[in-house]
Amino acid sequence: MEIKLSSPLDMHLHLREGDMLKTVVPLTADTFAGAVIMPNLVPPVDNLERLRAYRAEILEGVGGHAFEPFMTLFLKNYTEEQLLAAREEIIGIKLYPAGITTNSSGGVASLEAAEQTLALMEKLGIRLMVHGETNAFVMDREADFLPVYERWAQKFPKLQIVMEHITTASAVALLDRYENLHATVTLQHLLITLDDVAGGLLNPHLFCKPIAKRPEDREALAAAALQAHPKLSFGSDSAPHPISKKECCGCAAGVFTAPIALQVLAGFFEEHGKLDNLQTFVSDNAHRIYGVTPPTKTVTLEKTPFTIPAKYGEVVPMWAGREIAWSVKSVA
Ligand code: NCD
Ligand code: ZN
């Protein structure tokens, strides 16, 4: 059995910098035609000069692959002039509540104070992408943030808002209530619950923010993805950390899935008899929602077993060592 995917897109990706970037960029650029690049570097990507330099570093790492990085800025208070200058070079601006996840200490301390920039973004047609968690109890952080999405969706009706890496059934339900709300969902949140992270022996390689939730949440996310819900895009949130930062006390949050995402998705959609919807979920929805035109790339996946490597460089992928049913046959 085979499936051909046309120009798959990853609408939420962490590439880091330096040696880590060199290791991970080709692992995405091999099979994806484009990806939304997250700005949570140290220091963050919060000005055009840094954004251009970062984009150049990514393109150098891409080598011969046909791959388009869609750049984002890290949200702070920007002037209208700054936003106008950046508009053509970004796919959106990413809002991190301060301290909520990896490298987010420079995020917004006050959501209310951020609204002046959101109003300007609405006026200029710049998309807002949000890490939607509060500092409530860890399992409740996303649910606690949902009223903020609702408030902004109403207050800024022309602002396109992407709820990044949604993990709850309640977030899925919001998609149908506000025309200007969209979402991404990761690979791991379609497949795992908190049980896989911490229900048996602790698995640091499945630890990420937002934390995986309850079975009924996973089921709602899976149902939306499998039907290729028109307001949902695939965003892996593949977030590499060196093994020393994962297998330690004080494990960093982030699951590394870039090199296995399409193969695992093919198996997941096939198991549920929905392989025909995979193209829409990993490509067509994002093309339409974000209005992007990445390079043309055809990825052929085949139902031939593949054993996930123990490591890619210094990074342990999700499900390292596990045999999965699908593999990449060719990329053209
Ligand atoms: C991401 C990272 O490592 O940069 N970690 C994660 O757990 N998802 C940041 C993020 O998207 O929250
Ligand atoms: Zn992320």
Check pocket membership of 117 for ligand 1, CB cut-off 6 A.
Answer: no
User: 3: CA distance to ligand 1 center in Å?
Assistant: 30
Model pTM above 0.95? yes
Query: 122-157: per-residue pLDDT in tens?
Result: 999 999 999 999 999 999 999 999 999 999 999 999
How many domains, the chain? 1
For 30, 190, 252, 270, 293, the CA distances from 300, given in Å and listed in that order, are 12, 22, 34, 15, 20
Q: Which pLDDT does position 33 carry in this prediction?
A: 98
Q: Which residues are catalytic?
A: 237
Could you tell me if 16 and 24 are in contact, meaning their C-beta atoms sit under 8 angstroms apart?
A: yes
Mean pLDDT computed over every residue of the chain:
98
Q: What is the pLDDT of residues 178-229, one digit of tens each?
A: 999 999 999 999 999 999 999 999 999 999 999 999 999 999 999 999 999 9
Q: Which pLDDT band holds residue 249 (cuts at 50, 70, 90)?
A: very high
Centre of ligand 2 to C-alpha 131, Å, is 8
Region 307-331 average pLDDT: 98
Residue 167, token pair as written in the block: 């993990």
Neighbouring residues of 90: CB distance < 8 A, sequence distance ≥ 6: 51, 70, 71, 72, 73, 126
With a 6 Å cutoff on the Cβ, whether 229 touches ligand 1 is no
- Give me the CATH number covering residue 55: 3.20.20.140
pLDDT computed for residue 79 by the predictor: 98
Given this model, what pLDDT does residue 193 score?
98
Q: Supply the pLDDT for residue 314.
A: 98
Cα–Cα–Cα angle for 279, 280, 285, rounded to 5 degrees: 135
> pLDDT confidence of 301, banded at 50, 70, 90?
very high
Whole-number pLDDT of residue 207: 98
Which residues form the domain of 290? Answer: 2-331
Average pLDDT over residues 279-301: 98
Peptide bond preceding 210 in cis form (omega within 30 of 0): yes
Write phi, then psi, for 82 (nearest 5 degrees).
-65, -40
Q: Are strands 323-324 and 9-13 parallel, antiparallel or unpaired?
A: unpaired
Q: Name which residue sits closest to atom 6 of ligand 1, judged by CA.
A: 254
Percent of the chain with pLDDT strictly greater than 90 = 99
Mean pLDDT for the stretch of residues 114-126: 98
- Is residue 41 within 8 Å of residue 15, measured between CB atoms? no
